[in-house]
Structure 1
Amino acid sequence: MKTIGIVLAGGQSKRFGEPKALALRHGKPFLFYSIEALRPIVDEIVIVAQPHIRTKLSFQDVSWIEDDPQYKGKGPLAGIYSAIVHHEATWYVVLPCDIPFIHETIIRMLKEQADDAFDAIVPYVNGRLQPLIAIYHYRVKSLIYNCLQQEEYRMHTFLSSCRVKRVGMKEEQPFMNINTKEQFYKWIS
């Protein structure tokens, strides 16, 4: 059962004002925390990012790709789809690059819930699903493709076509994403 970690680092970071993957916590780029949470649990790590991110960071034992040209800039679904198309596995652990409090324990707990009866293993935290910190079965490739073809890019719409296993989690901080400079100054600096 091959498992690939996908780190989504290709967003435009409009609200943040600069690439969030490069923002620092304790002197390390945000992207580092997602990679380190995945490293002990997955067989391979794929970072979906724009070329300017790759030129500024260096990580060993990771693959870098961009969105497939026809879906470039179409959001997280495009990034997930691009990684699945280029890297075959049974399960894919998806993380964004802007969650600098994520840790291995969360990923391990999700992976332990992997069940072939489901397409998606998604944390449920404080009353909300967390589809960008989740595990997806290879079967979702066709479901994502259908969404992209219909120009439907919302994660929750995609999830409505999946058999989802919700995993309740009490710890909130690992799921905190940093979207704005105000959040950065409040939680990081």
Structure 2
Amino acid sequence: MRFRIPNLVAGIVLAGGGSRRMGDDKCMLDLGGRTLLQRAVDALDAVADEVVTVTRPGRPPPLVQSPGSLYHAVDSIADAGPLVGILAGLEATSAPVAIAVACDLPFVQPDLLRLLLDRASEGARFVVPVHEGQPQLLCSAWRGEAAPLLRARVEAGARAVHAMLDALDAELVPPEVWRDADPEGRSFVNVNTPEDLAEARASLGASRGA
């Protein structure tokens, strides 16, 4: 597949969640010899020129490695959901287009990210894939010009995802469009609980043994 990728792309890693169901800081949990956070950074490095890690207030910059420029931003409002983290990432970069990925999506496929960036390059402020009938905000592409509109809504307390989709005139990407980039939908495997982590480790081991 061939994609049109903007000249400067920022990757945003959302690492500000509370990890309540995991019982530990899930971003630093090991999966296949890499932390979940490092896996997210690595996926973004495949498509982005710079990466911004976004954490909750009071947390130091995480220890990760990246061949490109690496920055750190902090949620302006603690425990206010992923939109606040995306906003912090957008405001920390001057890149015209950004791709946001949550650290608990350990199998994000770079070709899916390229597809979302391709759609964003056509002018949509916000591009989000749809999986199992739900928009996947935790793996989405944004144009920098959306930041002021997003901030206005966040400060007004309007943080519902579906309302944001309408307000920002989001482009929804259905499975029939993104399936070639990620045939099994692996990008949307979410690790939120110890059981999820065990399944992800088993899946990774099975794929290596195949």
The answer, yes or no, to whether TM exceeds 0.5 is: yes
Runs of 5+ consecutive residues of structure 1 not aligned to the other structure: none
Distance 2:29 2:160 in 1: 25
2:191 pairs, out of 178, 181, 184, with 178
Please, what is the CA RMSD of the aligned residues?
1.9
2:163 matches 1:157: yes
CA-CA distance at 1:98 after TM superposition: 0.3
| 181 and 53 in structure 1: CA distance in 2 versus 1, 3 angstrom threshold | farther
Map of 1:112-123 to 2, 5 A cutoff? 112-123=118-129
User: Normalized against structure 2, the TM-score is what?
Assistant: 0.80
CA-CA distance at 1:20 after TM superposition: 1.5
CA-CA distance at 1:116 after TM superposition: 4.2
CA-CA distance at 1:126 after TM superposition: 2.7
2:73 matches 1:65: yes
Counterpart residue type for residue 79 of structure 1: G
Percent of pairs with identical residues:
26
Map of 1:9-158 to 2, 5 A cutoff? 9-50=15-56, 52=59, 54=61, 57-60=63-66, 61-68=69-76, 71-158=77-164
Runs of 5+ consecutive residues of structure 2 not aligned to the other structure: 1-6, 203-210
Deviations, residues 114-164 of structure 1 (Å, cap 9, x unaligned): 244321111122322111201011122122112212222233322221122
| 103 and 33 in structure 1: CA distance in 2 versus 1, 3 angstrom threshold | farther
User: Normalized against structure 1, the TM-score is what?
Assistant: 0.88
Distance 1:34 1:156 in 2: 25
